[in-house]
Structure 1
């Protein structure tokens, strides 16, 4: 693994958003790392995501914002909440100008692959090892960490960063394995080519339709070339958490039978939808020990109802790199400082994301009407300033 004379040997397990972001921030801080990604190629997996000002601020700092903006779509129209049955607008929040004034950056939507492409541009090719599936993590007698891989190879490092997602192998070396709880909710996702999407779905808006037990989200991605659709519905006995699992278009459409035809027409215009179960995991009370730590979904998987999963991984990356750069000769202390700086914030976001499910899925009735009435008065952009105004440099200072 390449490393500078005075820096620790750092191994990142996982080449997703968090893994590439931390490698990029480490490079910016003058440290080096090896990134071990189990996939043999960087493929266009996943779907759309939101990049709020707290994430965009860090993409700018990393020097990849220009590349990110090639395919990102600015939410000029803003956030929009609609009623399931007839599409009546419950609230609209215009973001243009306001986001910049409050937080110094705009809010964007983007395909996950396009964000990965931007982050990868900050990491030298020679740092990345593809087809490297980590199978074991063991602390050595000398205070290092030995990684074992499926191909029989091994590598020793001073610092191991587990950025390997919800099924993290690295997490298993730190915590007692606890099976996730069944949430009872599953997600569907599909991409609709812009040419097949109705005009209202192509607007630069993040639209959420709220209904009993379900909600339905759409926004443009890929520079406006496609519309990302993601929807949440009761899972029944479905428990597959794989991103590669699929469902039938008619199955997806049937879940939203009786909804505004614009919803079911958009479903029909998409390709074969992906489908996965949302599994529930308790926040960890700690995620570092010795020279091993976690980042992103490996540390704090959260329901996607605040659209902060990717942003929190990028925040983790910026904080962790800064902590390691500040104490390159004492990585164990650096990891403790990192965990201390991040634990309360990510736990709070896990909790509010969890609670949002129940708010979004109220059955029609007095509670739902009271909820809808609050939307007209609320200003989530201001009310969630603790999310969007966060700056790792200030948090660490």
Structure 2
């Protein structure tokens, strides 16, 4: 190993994965987190085969099964009026030796935290970063007026990363014109082990089961003109969700009616950072490349980043290792972000010729060439960073 110590900022999925991955290479890691405890709000994640390859390589796949993560069988596209099927992507065809899993976010955080603790990662909670100072060595200036130094500092603190701002200047984020409600409801609807995308005019609902099928995770996206703040834990009145999706029928309507608590998240476009690394500091996950949630790849990209960064640091001196990390990852995440951004338009077609023709094309392709439909995602799901 060419470095012996590191600081990781942020105890989310990317930060915990990076800390655990580095510890596997013998690095002494300090994980700094501003929250007083490591926890997570209730929400679901889709861990696709490319993300599962990292968790398997880290020896954590069995831990997911212990937490009753659900193995996904398909992604089903549905019409909003009665939930009739438009197309089905058979995920059992496209898993490349790794399963596609539906996971409760809190469970994955806990599993990664356990891996970090087993790697003797030192965790410092309630510690807020004031400033990141690249250099030799790089330095953290804490709000508590103390300073921390390490051979490398990895910032996985998300879209408000101070390191991102230090390396790239202010982030010119723009409201996407879309908001997303998140909710969990008991699975009283016999929801199968599938991700359902129920498509309506200017809006769509994603649903899938969690924790052995006991819960259903809901993400409801609506196009709107009025700005909404960015944040996963901003509470909203479920009546607003029901009003926005009043035209939906079938199982979707029943699930939305069952929502008792929900959060509202304003979706914003953030540019991919031009500079991910410099003078001993590096960005990881959303701090480098925030993405809209329409391809379910945010967590998967963070897992890939963590593995690649740790692998690069294990093989080369610091400066070339950080440069190689960005060169390996940047083109891939840009493609993921572009693909995710285009999905919303496909889901939100208004009634008319374009919607009719698009849904007919999906039905025909799903029936006549199901292998080709899922095969279009081989570039995404078959990518295994642990084999590179």
TM-score (norm 1): 0.92
**Within the alignment, does 1:11 sit opposite 2:2 as a pair?**
no
Of residues 56-65 and 231-240 in structure 1, the stretch that sits farther from structure 2 once superposed is 231-240
Match of 2:312 in 1: 323
Aligned counterparts, 1:198-217, within 5 A: 198-199=189-190, 201=191, 203-217=192-206
Using the alignment, how far apart are the partners of 1:76 and 1:343 within structure 2?
Answer: 28
- d(CA) in 2 for partners of 1:26, 1:237: 43
Secondary structure of the 2:265 match is: strand
Selected match of 1:189 from 172, 182, 199: 182
Please, which of 279, 282, 285 is the counterpart of residue 271 of structure 2?
A: 282
Residue 282 of structure 1: CA displacement?
A: 1.9
- The two structures have a TM-score, normalised by structure 2, of 0.94
Structure number with higher relative contact order (C-alpha < 8 Å, ≥ 6 residues apart) = 2
Deviation of 1:95 (Å): 2.8
Question: Does 2:383 align with 1:390?
Answer: yes
Quote the residue 2:369 is aligned against. Answer: none
Superposition misfits of 4+ residues, deviation over 3 angstroms: 72-77
CA distance in 1, matches of 2:113, 2:182: 25
Deviation at 1:386, TM superposition (A): 0.7
Cα contact 2:185–2:216 (8 A) shared by 1: yes
Deviation at 1:234, TM superposition (A): 2.0
Contact 2:175 2:227 in 1 (8 A): no
Q: Distance in 2 between matches of 1:72 and 1:212?
A: 35
Distance 2:157 2:240 in 1: 31
For 1:38, the equivalent position in structure 2 comes to 34
- Find the counterpart in structure 2 of residue 134 from structure 1: 129
Question: Is the contact between residue 79 and residue 207 of structure 1 (CA under 8 Å) also seen in structure 2?
Answer: yes
Q: Secondary structure of the residue that 1:45 maps to in structure 2?
A: coil
Tell me, in whole angstroms, the C-alpha distance in 1 between the residues paired with 2:221 and 2:94: 27
Q: Is the 8 A contact 2:229 2:266 kept in 1?
A: yes
Structure 1: distance between partners of 2:27 and 2:39: 27
Contact 1:65 1:118 in 2 (8 A): no
Q: What residue ranges of structure 1 are gaps of 5+ in the alignment?
A: none
| 1:31–1:325 CA contact under 8 A, matched in 2 | no
Within 2, Cα distance between the matches of 1:41 and 1:374?
49
Deviation of residue 108 (structure 1)? 0.7
Q: Tell me how many residue pairs correspond in the alignment.
A: 380
- Map of 1:1-397 to 2, 5 A cutoff? 7-96=3-92, 98-100=93-95, 103-124=96-117, 126-140=121-135, 143-194=136-187, 197-199=188-190, 201=191, 203-327=192-316, 330-376=317-363, 377=365, 379-395=372-388
Shift of residue 55, structure 1, vs aligned partner: 0.8
| Deviations 1:187-237 (CA, angstroms, capped at 9, x unpaired) | 00100023xx312x2x11111101111010111112322110111002332
Q: Is this contact kept in 1: 2:130–2:141, CA < 8 A?
A: yes
Q: Unmatched 5+ residue regions in structure 2? A: 367-371
Query: C-alpha separation between the residues in 2 aligned to 1:118 and 1:387?
Result: 24
CA shift in 2, pair 1:126/1:226, >3 Å: same
Give the 3 Å change call, closer, same or farther, for CA 229–179 of structure 1 in structure 2.
Answer: same
RMSD: 1.7
Q: Distance in 1 between matches of 2:72 and 2:102?
A: 11
